[in-house]
């Protein structure tokens, strides 16, 4: 992966085209993965762990953060040696300046400082944080030595995609940057819109951080919802929120109806903190798959930090009603409409050894040649594997077991056949190097779950099943020319 800081304050006066992604040769080679995390606090109760076990602080999540093409978090603790001011409130969140290296070591590329705690140690606090973060090689978003700098988009190039980052403090409590006074960018609709317009003019994708909203409330309040709506109307692709310390639902909106969606996460909760109220010991990471035309898909992972070390607990399946797409080795929710590709289906296979449930054609093993993919049942045959399984779990009322196989187009020579399936396949779509599937039960053909199998040299590796009905299909989701598994019409049972 390649990440390059393209521009900072010079962007304000640069003459650039309004749609850089539309220029000839400017599209990235592939879609890129952008990761957003919530509040990180390295002071107070976390500081002793950071000192005693610096390597272990983010060890449980480093593979997720560094695996993205660009990773961003909100730093809730100023990095300074200055003492906490009593008038700043009772919560002394300040951390040592050398703590910045922990964020860089975790895999983060950029950090927002636009929040209510940015100036808790007095006027010099923001300047100290800026110096510490930049010394660690991190891009600072939402702060600067002047208001001009604080409101300037930070543009980072990731594998050819130009991503503009902005961040605003919507609490009204952070120290606003002034002329010659370090501080943060605050939420002012006029200034924020102008900053977004500058970002939109120089980048393919625009992501904006917002710090605000009612603390500990599990859904967004009207104020922060309105802020997200305004940003979406102005053309922001990702709204990345933090501050309430608990996770809010993630949604996709398109208020201006231009077909370019905005992924909205008004609160990703605590990525790392020392709070103990319900919901505060976990957070979410939002990963967005994006290209020059904006967000393609997104997924949410859960992290926990009960021992004040961050642990990754896995990716959530796409929410009910969302189109599920299998890309980058996992399930994502489509952010915009996918263009399906129809494949030829065989209605019957004369002389086939088994009862055909469904057959279709596609390059499902990725060797460049199409195969016939057949879901079928046949009379039970004892094998070393199925002999270990209880008969009711693999044999239907007609004495048959369920299978899927790949067969050579033309003479139907078997190329690969699965042994006895524990979940019968009732529908299948042959994608490129993968299958999209719908499962039934042994004695009822109704779809009960869906899944995807990805070819790995000698067989298929299944992704986690999605325990909801749906319709399997194929589409080029990430624009790489290959067809990925898609599940449509997912519903709540």
| pTM of the predicted protein model | 0.92
**Residue of 280, 252, 256 whose CA lies nearest to 266:** 252
Position 386 scores a pLDDT of: 81
Alpha carbons within 13 angstroms on the beta-carbon side of residue 126 total 30
Q: Which residue has the tokens 């196989």?
A: 405
What does pLDDT average to over the chain?
Answer: 92
- 481: alpha, beta or left, given left = phi > 0 and alpha = psi -120 to 50? left
Residues 272-298 pLDDT 10s = 999 999 999 999 999 999 999 999 999
DSSP string computed for 255-320: TT-SS--EEEES-BBEEE----STTTTEEEEEEEEEETTEEEEEEEEEEE-TTSS-EEEEEPPPPT
What percentage of the chain reaches a pLDDT higher than 70? 93
Report whether 347 contacts 480 (CB < 8 A).
no
Distances (CA, A) of 182 to 2, 46, 179, 231: 30, 26, 8, 25
pLDDT value at 67 more than 80: yes
Query: What does the pLDDT look like over 214-263, one tens digit per residue?
Result: 999 999 999 999 999 999 999 999 999 999 999 999 999 999 899 999 99
Residue 18: the pLDDT is 37
In this predicted model, what pLDDT tens digit does every residue of 388-441 receive, in sequence order?
Answer: 888 889 999 999 999 999 999 888 899 999 989 999 999 999 999 999 999 999
Strands 355-362 and 371-379, by their bridges, are antiparallel
Higher pLDDT, 76 or 386: 76
Of 39, 45, 38, which is closest to residue 93 (Cα–Cα)?
A: 45
Q: Which domains does the chain have, with CATH numbers?
A: 3-316 (3.60.21.10), 345-488 (no CATH)
Nearest alpha carbon to residue 480 among 301, 247, 296: 296
Is the pLDDT at 492 greater than 80? The verdict is no
pLDDT for the residue 384: 80
Per-residue pLDDT of 15-39, as tens digits, reads 333 344 444 445 555 799 999 999 9
């Amino acid at each position: 992966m390649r990440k390059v800081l393209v521009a900072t304050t010079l962007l304000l006066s640069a003459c650039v085209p309004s749609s850089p992604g539309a220029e000839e040769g400017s599209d990235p080679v592939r879609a890129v993965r952008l990761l957003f995390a919530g509040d990180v606090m390295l002071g107070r109760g976390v500081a002793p762990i950071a000192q005693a076990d610096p390597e272990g602080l983010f060890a449980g999540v480093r593979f997720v953060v560094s695996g993205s093409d660009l990773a961003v978090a909100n730093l809730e603790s100023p990095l300074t040696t200055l003492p906490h001011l009593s008038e700043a409130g009772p919560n002394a969140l300040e951390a040592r300046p050398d703590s910045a290296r922990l964020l860089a070591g975790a895999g983060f590329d950029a950090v927002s400082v636009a929040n209510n705690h940015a100036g808790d140690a007095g006027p010099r606090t923001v300047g100290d944080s800026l110096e510490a973060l930049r010394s660690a090689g991190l891009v600072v978003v939402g702060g600067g030595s002047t208001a001009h700098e604080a409101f300037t988009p930070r543009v980072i190039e990731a594998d050819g995609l130009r991503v503009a980052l902005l961040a605003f403090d919507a609490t009204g409590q952070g120290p606003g940057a002034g002329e010659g006074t370090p501080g943060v960018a605050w939420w002012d609709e006029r200034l924020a819109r102008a900053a977004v317009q500058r970002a939109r003019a120089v980048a393919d994708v625009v992501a904006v951080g917002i710090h605000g909203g009612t603390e500990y409330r599990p859904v967004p309040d009207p104020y922060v919802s309105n802020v997200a709506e305004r940003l979406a109307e102005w053309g922001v692709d990702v709204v990345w929120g933090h501050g309430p310390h608990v996770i809010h639902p993630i949604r996709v909106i398109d208020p201006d109806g231009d077909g370019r969606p905005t992924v909205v996460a008004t609160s990703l909760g605590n990525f790392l903190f020392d709070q103990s109220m319900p919901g505060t010991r976990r957070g979410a990471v939002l990963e967005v798959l994006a290209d020059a035309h904006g967000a393609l898909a997104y997924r949410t992972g859960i992290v926990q930090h009960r021992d004040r070390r961050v642990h990754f607990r896995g990716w959530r399946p796409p929410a009910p009603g969302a189109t599920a797409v299998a890309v980058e080795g996992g399930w994502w929710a489509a952010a915009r409409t996918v263009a399906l590709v129809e494949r030829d289906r065989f209605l019957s296979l004369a002389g086939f050894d088994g009862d055909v449930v469904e057959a279709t054609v596609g390059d499902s093993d990725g060797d460049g040649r199409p195969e016939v993919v057949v879901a079928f049942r046949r009379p039970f045959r004892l094998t070393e594997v199925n002999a270990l399984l209880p008969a009711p779990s693999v044999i239907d009322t007609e004495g048959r077991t369920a299978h899927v196989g790949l067969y050579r187009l033309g003479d139907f020579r078997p190329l690969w056949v699965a042994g006895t399936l524990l979940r019968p396949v009732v529908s299948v779509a042959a994608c490129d190097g993968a299958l999209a599937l719908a499962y039934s039960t042994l004695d009822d053909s109704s779809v009960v779950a869906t899944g995807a199998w990805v070819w790995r040299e000698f067989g298929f590796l299944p992704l986690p099943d999605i325990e909801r009905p749906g319709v399997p299909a194929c589409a080029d989701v990430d624009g790489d020319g290959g067809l990925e598994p898609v599940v449509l019409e997912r519903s709540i049972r």
